[in-house]
Each structure stands twice: as C-alpha cells, then as structure tokens.
Amino acid sequence: QAQLVESGGGLVQAGGSLRLSCAASGITSYDYILGWFRQAPGKERECVAAMSWSGTNIYYADSVKGRSTISREYAKKTVFLQVDSLKPEDTAVYYCAARTRFLLRDFLYRTVGDYDAWGQGTQVTVSS
C-alpha cells in the first residue's frame, strides 16, 4: 500500500511562491505516477498538475497554468509542485496522489478516480 506525505504548505501573501513536496513509500511497482490535486472549501477536488509516466506529457489546470511547475525525482518516488504568483483563490488543501495500477506510459491521468492512493494533504492559505 502506497503512503504519501506532503509538505511545504503554509500561509503566504498574494504574489508569493510555494514549493510543495510529496514523498511516496510502499510503492513496489515500476510503473507508477504521482500527481497533484487540490480541494477548496465547498468545491470538488480537482487536478492541479499531472505528469505522464514517460514525462513527455504534462497537464496543468487552467487556473495555475503559466505559474506552476510539476517535477519529480522518479527513483526517489518524490514529486514537487512549484506555484508562483499565488492568488487568494489558490487557497485549498493540496493533495498528492499516486497511481500504481496498470497505466499507459504517455497518458495523462487527471481525475480523482485515476489514482489509488492519497496523502493527508497540506493546507495552502493565500492572504490578500
């Protein structure tokens, strides 16, 4: 069973930056992917950034496109999310997610149901 631990959240002023980290353990499959989701109060959980297994395809939600970067250290089972120019609407709990079952290596998995393990989440609060 995969276990994911996020870190790097906190209180930030609008315009600032954050770098979130997620360390995964218990993943025994060679084929796995890690992605980032967020959930604001009263809203559904949404995919913020995702990367295909091959690394050739990357997805960013429109709301963060152009000011976010997802990166990973595959061998260390770690994924990062850098978010710049933070806005109050970025306030949410950010979750790291893992998919360890069958996957297509160039496919972008972007829905909650595509992933089978979740971290506890890290709170990001952006003040105006």
Closest CA to 91 of 71, 64, 66: 64
Rounded-to-integer distance, Cα 95 and Cα 37, Å: 5
Question: Residue 17's beta-bridge partner residues?
Answer: none
What is the average pLDDT across 117-124? Answer: 98
Q: What is the pLDDT of residues 57-90, one digit of tens each?
A: 999 999 999 999 999 999 999 999 999 999 999 9
**Secondary structure class of 42 (helix, strand, coil):** coil
Pairing of strands 122-127, 10-13: parallel
Distance CA 89, CA 111 (A): 21
The SS3 of residue 10 is strand
Taking only the tens place, the pLDDT of each residue in 100-118 is 999 999 999 999 999 999 9
Residue 54 has pLDDT above 90, yes or no: yes
pLDDT of 38 above 90: yes
Q: Does residue 1 carry a pLDDT above 90?
A: no
Query: Is the pLDDT at 10 greater than 90, yes or no?
Result: yes
Rounded Cα–Cα distance for residues 20 and 7 (Å)? 6
